[in-house]
Chain A
């Protein structure tokens, strides 16, 4: 099965509200990254965490390696926050590996 399960797959929020995206992992991950894909295909790095939490403006992310999950919280959503958000997890077995979640399509409504 998938080693990274990202949810929800789609989310609609009204401006000014907030919600959380989540990635669950089936194994212990070394670190997690959260990205947002812009209209041209570029992946904008939002957060990189090896543990704990980070906050940047209206975004906050947490990573718990032991409990095998990471979250991305969005508060006071704005129209320009609409887009596709991905998590990507890193781990080492006999090699460095990265695996992506399938993405969350966020649509912020006026």
Chain B
């Protein structure tokens, strides 16, 4: 069974602090994505990657960095967390950037105080 695992599942961070969200996939997929979801709104793409050691900006990259050290791992980094970054974050992977099934992690609930 294809799997995308996110950690931590929830986190409380202090404004101005550094936060790293991790994602690990066992799907052997080339593409990985980070989305954020705010209650009552749709998902928005932050960063994505189609190969190890390379990341691409998504639709809302400001305030976030991403790292893809290997095909299996994709991290989202908030260098200076802000209140506006309180949201649920989803990682996903897919075989290629076309109409293939996308596998989502269970989400990470981040609260910045």
Looking across the interface, which residue of chain A has its beta carbon closest to that of B35? A43
The reply on B99 being an interface residue by CB < 8 A is: yes
- Distance in angstroms from B94 CB to nearest chain A CB is 7
Contact digits for B21-55, partner A, Cβ 8 Å, 1 yes 0 no: 00000000001010101011111110010000000
Contact B10 A103 (CB under 8 A): no
A-B contact count (CB 8 A): 63
A39, A43, A98, A100: the one contacting B88 at CB < 8 Å is A98
The reply on B109 being an interface residue by CB < 8 A is: yes
What is the CA–CA distance of A83 and B109 in the complex, to the nearest angstrom?
28
Within 8 A of A (CB), among B89-113: 90, 94, 97-102, 104, 106-107, 109
Contact B42 A35 (CB under 8 A): yes
Contact B88 A96 (CB under 8 A): yes
What is the CA–CA distance of A40 and B101 in the complex, to the nearest angstrom?
14
Write out the residue numbers on chain A whose beta carbons fall within 8 Å of the beta carbon of B97: 39-41
What is the CA–CA distance of A40 and B43 in the complex, to the nearest angstrom?
14
What is the CA–CA distance of A91 and B33 in the complex, to the nearest angstrom?
23
Residues in B lying within 8 Å of A, measured CB to CB = 10, 31, 33, 35, 37, 39-45, 48, 58-59, 88, 90, 94, 97-102, 104, 106-107, 109
